């Protein structure tokens, strides 16, 4: 849901610009313009409908952000900092739009990039980078969320196929994606591995894969997650991601995407702040939001510093700052709530798009 009545409060009042180079600034401008011109005018309608605006997919593909930090295969090879800035700008317009990119680029493409063989990467990443093929990441199960290490979905080798059985829940794009990374326990060694499900040529799912969008959500309404039942699903053995050998690999993929969650909350908080600032004509004054503004600069400094640290230390070491990111994200969520509270009754409905 967009939270800005107008996007004219674009001035860089929190000094982010000081930390960025020309390429970072150009990227922000590109994503912001997409959000303002293409997302904001329609997103409230999709929030109400609880559906994703799939007509945005071609424009998304042209933005030069799909695949974010992945090098080669038609991906832009963004820095970790730029990946964060993209998440922030998309979330400033709408969280669901950012989740779309986080699931497709971060989790699905990220799994293939990190764990696929060269042949698998050549096969799947270029069409995903062009958004000709959408990706999903199916880890969570009805009985296993945070404790996904205990997942029960099984994979049994039968000739040249794996037979998958189990169920998954809350899988973003899991009912529409062309490629679904299914995490399942190999019955041969009890290790958790990643299996790539591909749609049939006619756009249907192979027998044994039944996915339905979860309805009635109260948040992230403009993107859907699926409940998935898997029964006797046959996946070619060659679709096992070559370097996925244990649950540790799930953690490796998640480590590359975690920091964007903090950036997302920064985007939401910024949008809420901007909207509160827009409400000055309703008697909300600068001093009411000044403390928030001061904290903002601290968050921006931390986020940028963490982004840079990740570049220096490499993606796998990003977990070094996980606790710090979590604390900051929690604070930012609180701040976003406070900014929304400043709006009181008008903060409870989606704002109309700008004229």
Q: Per rule CB under 6 A, is residue 192 in the interface with ligand FAD? A: no
Q: What is the DSSP string of 224-292?
A: -EEEEEEEEEEEEGGGB-TT--SHHHHHHHHHHHHHHHHHHHHHHHHHHHHHHHHGGGGT--HHHHHHH
- Of the ranges 72-80, 140-148, 230-238, 248-256, which one interacts with ligand FAD (CB under 6 A)? 140-148
Distance CA 274, CA 26 (A): 21
Out of 171, 180, 240, 310, the only residue in the binding site for ligand FAD (CB under 6 A) is: 171
Radius of gyration for the chain, computed over Cα atoms and rounded to the nearest angstrom: 21
Closest contact distance (angstroms) between CB of 14 and ligand FAD is 27
Nearer to ligand FAD (CB atom), residue 79 or residue 91: 91
Find the shortest distance in angstroms from Cβ 288 to ligand FAD.
Answer: 31
Which of these segments, 30-38, 54-62, 115-123, 131-139, binds ligand FAD (CB under 6 A)?
A: 131-139
Q: Which is nearer to ligand FAD, 116 or 172 (CB)?
A: 172
Residue nearest to ligand FAD (CB): 145
Taking Cα atoms as reference points, which of 139, 56, 134 lies closest to residue 97? Answer: 56
91 token code pair: 């979330």
Nearer to ligand FAD, 317 or 326 (CB): 326
Interacting residue with ligand FAD among 125, 139, 262, 343 (CB under 6 A): 139
Rule CB under 6 A: which of 45-104 touch ligand FAD? Answer: 103
What is the rounded CA–CA span in Å between residue 337 and residue 348? 11
| Candidate residues 172, 267, 307, 353; the one interacting with ligand FAD per rule CB under 6 A | 172
Q: Judged by CB under 6 A, which stretch of 35-43, 47-55, 123-131, 167-175 contacts ligand FAD?
A: 167-175
User: What one-character DSSP code corresponds to residue 144?
Assistant: B
CB 258 to ligand FAD: min, Å: 12
Of 40, 140, 227, 239, the residue at the interface with ligand FAD (CB under 6 A) is: 140
Restricted to residues 224-283, the positions that interact with ligand FAD (CB under 6 A) are 225
Contact by Cβ (8 Å): 86, 307: no
Cβ closer to ligand FAD: 113 or 225?
Answer: 225
Residue from 73, 124, 137, 195 binding ligand FAD (CB under 6 A): 137
Coil, helix or strand at residue 145: coil
Question: Among 88, 135, 152, 89, which Cα is nearest to 253's?
Answer: 135
- What lies within 8 Å, CB to CB, of 333 at 6+ separation is 265, 268, 269
For ligand FAD, give the closer residue by CB, 140 or 256. 140
110 binds ligand FAD (CB under 6 A): no
In whole angstroms, how close is the CB of 334 to ligand FAD at the nearest point?
A: 16
Closest contact distance (angstroms) between CB of 225 and ligand FAD is 5
Q: Say how many residues touch ligand FAD, by CB under 6 A.
A: 12
Residue range at the interface with ligand FAD (CB under 6 A); choices 72-80, 134-142, 192-200, 289-297? 134-142
> Alpha-carbon distance 161 to 234, whole Å?
6
For 353: left if phi > 0, alpha if psi spans -120 to 50, otherwise beta; the answer is beta
Contact between residue 310 and residue 84 where contact means Cβ atoms under 8 Å apart? no
Site for ligand FAD in 280-339 (CB under 6 A): none
188-207 per-residue burial string, b: 16 or more CB within 10 A, e: under 16? eeebbbbbbbbbeeeeebee
Residue from 94, 21, 106, 79 nearest 306 by CA? 79
Distance of closest approach, residue 176 Cβ to ligand FAD, in angstroms: 12
Query: Contact residues for ligand FAD (CB under 6 A)?
Result: 103, 137-140, 145-146, 170-172, 220, 225
């Amino acid at each position: 849901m967009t939270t800005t009545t107008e996007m004219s409060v674009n001035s860089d009042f929190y000094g982010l610009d000081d930390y960025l180079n020309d390429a970072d600034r150009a990227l922000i401008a590109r994503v912001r313009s997409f959000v303002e011109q293409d997302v904001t005018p329609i997103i409230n309608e999709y929030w109400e409908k609880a559906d994703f605006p799939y007509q945005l997919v071609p424009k998304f593909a042209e933005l030069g952000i799909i695949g974010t930090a992945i090098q080669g295969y038609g991906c832009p090879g963004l820095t970790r900092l730029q990946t964060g800035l993209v998440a922030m700008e998309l979330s400033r317009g709408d969280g669901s739009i950012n989740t779309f990119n986080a699931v497709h680029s971060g989790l699905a493409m990220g799994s293939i990039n990190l764990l696929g063989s060269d042949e698998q990467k050549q096969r799947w990443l270029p069409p995903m980078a062009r958004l000709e093929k959408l990706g999903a990441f199916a880890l969570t199960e009805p009985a296993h969320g945070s404790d996904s290490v205990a997942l029960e979905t099984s994979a049994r080798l039968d000739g040249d196929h794996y037979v998958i059985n189990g169920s998954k829940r809350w899988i973003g794009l899991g009912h529409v994606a062309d490629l679904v990374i299914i995490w399942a326990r190999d019955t041969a060694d009890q290790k958790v591995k990643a299996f790539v499900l591909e749609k049939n040529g006619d756009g249907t799912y192979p027998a044994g894969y039944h996915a339905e969008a979860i309805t009635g959500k109260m948040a992230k309404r403009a993107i859907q997650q699926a409940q998935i039942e898997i029964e006797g699903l046959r996946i070619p053995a060659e679709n096992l991601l070559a370097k996925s050998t244990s649950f540790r690999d799930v953690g490796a993929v998640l480590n590359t995407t975690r920091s964007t969650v903090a950036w997302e909350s920064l985007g939401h908080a910024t949008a809420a702040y901007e909207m509160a600032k827009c409400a000055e004509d309703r008697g909300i004054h600068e001093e009411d939001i000044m403390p928030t503004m001061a904290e903002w600069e601290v968050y921006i400094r931390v986020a940028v510093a963490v982004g840079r640290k990740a570049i220096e230390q490499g993606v796998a070491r990003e977990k070094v700052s996980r606790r710090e990111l979590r604390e900051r994200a929690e604070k930012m969520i609180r701040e976003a709530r406070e900014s929304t509270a400043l709006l009181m009754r008008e903060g409870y409905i989606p704002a109309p798009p700008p004229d």
